[in-house]
Amino acid sequence: MILVTGSGLLGSDVIRVLRKEHEVTGTFSSHPKEGAVRLDITDRGNTIRAVGELKPEYVVHTAALTNVDYCEDHPDEAASINDMGTKNVVDAARMAGARLIYVSTDFVFDGSKGMYREEDPVNPISVYAYSKLMGEYRVKELPGSAIARTSVVYGNARQNFVTWVRDSLAKKQTIKVVTDQFNSPTLSYDCALAIAALIRHGAEGTYHTAGGERISRYDFAVKIARFYGLDPGLIEPVTSDTLKQKAKRPADSSLDVSKIGQYHQMLDIMDGLKKMEEVRQ
């Protein structure tokens, strides 16, 4: 049995993909869901008790506070969920004899070079990134664990960059998108397939489970517009400093995905957008 923490965009797709091969239990924190258990990862007792009762073979830990600017203003909450919450999950997995896969982020890098490999030095430049890196350190204390770093996750289940661009342009709204931030946009469903492959092969260590294409946010938005037959002229190119965002973003946190390729080939953007429509529920 596999326990999946978190019910956001990626967590939902991980559950959907893993249920094809495994018995899977999801979690909720406040709104009950059928077939899911209540899990508040900031509550150590609740976490250890819930995982201990279920005795999963694997825990896939997707639950996190991911709003980068919110984390910058609420560092204690970010630490409570992303660092200490992860410690609680790690300890619960250890006590239950479960292996763990932790979903992390490209933001653990400072963005000074791009196309980062798994072994490259980390240097977080925001509260969010630091809290996720602390979570990585917690996970590395658990033998047999794996870390899956991803980047700009998009998909069908929740509002995200792709749905924002698509829906805004469909309403003929002008949007501002930065030209000076580069990432490896990742289809949530494809990342879930990569995580399933890590489980299938019993992999451990760190893997970059991100999209197979490095691109700027602006060029990504243009590709989204063209894919959906919308007007890319409504996309206004701007630089990061004009947005006055609370938290610093890495200039280029794109990820090299060669290593995960031994288990799963990550999709580029156009194939990712096609797959997103194919798997729409």
Predicted pLDDT at 28: 87
- DSSP one-letter code for 32: -
Q: What are the residue ranges in the chain where pLDDT is below 70?
A: 281
100, 63, 94, 95: which is closest to 80 by C-alpha? Answer: 63
pLDDT tens digits for 60-74?
999 999 999 999 999
Torsion sign across C-alpha atoms 223, 226, 230, 235: positive
Q: Does domain 2-159+185-213+254-269 bear CATH number 3.40.50.720?
A: yes
Predicted pLDDT at 281: 62
Predicted pLDDT at 249: 96
pLDDT tens digits for 231-279?
999 999 999 999 889 999 999 999 999 999 999 999 999 999 999 999 9
* Domain ranges for the chain: 2-159+185-213+254-269
Predicted pLDDT at 31: 77
Evaluate whether 178 touches 38 at the Cβ level (below 8 Å).
no
Helix axes of 161-170 and 217-227: crossing angle, nearest 10 degrees: 60
Which residues are CB-neighbours of 90 under 8 A, at least 6 positions away?
A: 100, 138, 139, 141, 142, 145
| Residues designated as active site | 128
